[in-house]
């Protein structure tokens, strides 16, 4: 049986939770509040052990340190909650060795913020299923630290093509057009820092890309303290696989950037382009995400909220019953206006 870890109040020993608003850790029993520095002093020895290079365990059964209940988690879950006493539990083995993150961006938005943002967003989806708008469903939003690989790299790019400058004028009854053709070449070198690539197969890559960007100014060295009160996932897509995705993305970035430097022409057509990436260096980081999964017509629909910026992404299905009712009501109102309006002029 593997062990878990939870951070206790230094005054009453109750579980602590990270508060995104203040950036401190709060006790919901005696209302004490602690800074990271205060907790670091107490848990310094434990933090040192957590940063050791031991191999990660694949066990999926753990004991809650607060009530002793058994916690079951899949092999990628790193932070969770006890189903019985609701205490946050950190599965320490999941943060060790190769799975020890270098950086973390702490949550800025609270769970209440996420509920409000999602509710405002989903209410604008007129034909979204009613279930998606129920408070009981919205309250199921979970805060998760999602795994990312961040890449630093340098890229050289080259674009070649044909530019045209077209001029027209009229002389008498004739319209003249003159087209000049130019051979255009552009090249450059671009340095990218912290290009994020989603490292979890559980989260939709398309949506994870859409909730970017994150503000790296709030990024800090990883500490398990930030995990308390939230779920967390360890990566299940390695850096080599993510580097291939990053390479394709960066090559497209640099080609588009060089292409956009071509100006002053009526038209420009690319005939040849290439980019060469070198010196890629990766870092493992955790990013804040609020997640909600709803089911409609036996299909699951995922919604994500950037836990730092509040950006919402997701594909909302159309409830055709709501759509039909809406158009029937609209038709009835239109018919009444026409009939009653016409009666007023009889």
Q: What is the pLDDT of residues 208-258, one digit of tens each?
A: 999 999 999 999 999 888 887 788 888 889 999 999 999 999 999 999 999
Residue 315 phi, psi dihedral angles, 5° rounding = -110, 115
Lowest mean pLDDT segment, chosen from 35-39, 56-60, 67-71: 56-60
CA distance 63 to 47: 20
Binning pLDDT at 50, 70 and 90, where does residue 307 land? Answer: very high
Contacts of 163 (CB under 8 A, 6+ apart): 181, 182, 183, 184, 262, 264, 265, 266, 267, 268, 269
Question: What single-letter DSSP state applies at residue 128?
Answer: S
Average pLDDT, integer, range 69-97: 59
Lowest mean pLDDT segment, chosen from 5-19, 67-81, 103-117: 67-81
Task: Decide if pLDDT at 67 tops 70.
Answer: no
CA distance 42 to 333: 68
Handedness of CA 258, 262, 263, 267 (dihedral sign): negative
CA distance 222 to 99: 12
Sheet arrangement for strand 16-19: 16-19, 24-27, 33-34
Average pLDDT, integer, range 50-76: 51
Q: What is the pLDDT of residue 110?
A: 93
Contacts of 138 (CB under 8 A, 6+ apart): 115, 118, 119, 122, 292
Residues 214, 218, 223, 227, Cα dihedral to 10°: -50
**Residue-averaged pLDDT of the chain:** 81
Cα distances from 243 to residues 152, 282, 285, in angstroms, run 10, 8, 15
SS3 273: strand
pTM metric for this prediction: 0.71
Q: Is 228:90 a contact under the CB 8 Å cutoff?
A: yes
Task: Decide if pLDDT at 172 tops 60.
Answer: yes
SS3 271: strand
Lowest mean pLDDT segment, chosen from 65-69, 97-101, 106-110, 185-189: 65-69
Question: How far is Cα of residue 63 from the mean position of the Cα atoms in its chain?
Answer: 30
């Amino acid at each position: 049986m593997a062990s878990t870890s939870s951070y206790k109040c230094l005054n009453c020993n109750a579980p602590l939770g990270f508060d995104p608003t203040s950036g401190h850790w709060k006790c919901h029993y005696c209302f004490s509040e602690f800074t990271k520095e205060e907790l670091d002093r107490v848990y310094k020895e434990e933090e040192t052990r957590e940063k050791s290079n031991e191999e990660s365990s694949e066990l999926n059964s753990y004991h809650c340190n607060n009530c002793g209940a058994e916690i079951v988690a899949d092999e990628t879950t790193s932070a969770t909650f006890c189903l019985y006493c609701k205490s946050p539990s950190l599965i320490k083995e999941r943060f060790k060795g190769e799975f020890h993150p270098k950086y973390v961006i702490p949550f800025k938005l609270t769970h209440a913020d996420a509920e409000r943002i999602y509710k405002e967003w989903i209410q604008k989806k007129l034909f979204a299923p009613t279930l998606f708008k129920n408070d009981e469903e919205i309250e199921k939003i979970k805060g998760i630290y999602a795994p990312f690989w961040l890449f630093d790299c340098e890229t050289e790019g080259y674009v070649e093509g044909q530019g045209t400058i077209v001029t027209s004028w009229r002389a008498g009854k004739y319209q003249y057009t003159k087209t000049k053709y130019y051979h255009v070449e552009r090249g450059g070198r671009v340095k990218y820092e912290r290009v994020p690539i989603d490292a979890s197969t559980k989260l939709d890559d398309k949506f994870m890309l859409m909730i970017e960007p994150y503000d790296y100014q709030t990024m800090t060295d990883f500490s398990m303290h930030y995990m308390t009160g939230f779920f967390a996932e360890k990566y299940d897509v390695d850096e080599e696989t993510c580097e291939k995705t990053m390479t394709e993305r960066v090559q497209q970035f640099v080609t588009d950037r060089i292409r956009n430097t071509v100006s002053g022409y009526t038209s420009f057509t690319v005939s040849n382009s290439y980019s060469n990436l070198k010196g890629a260096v990766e870092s493992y980081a955790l990013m804040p995400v609020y997640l909600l999964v709803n089911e409609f017509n036996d299909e699951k629909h995922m919604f994500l909220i950037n836990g730092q910026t509040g950006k919402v992404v997701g594909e909302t299905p159309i409830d055709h019953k709501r759509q039909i009712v809406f158009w029937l009501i609209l038709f009835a109102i239109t018919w009444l206006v026409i009939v009653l309006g016409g009666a007023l002029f009889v």
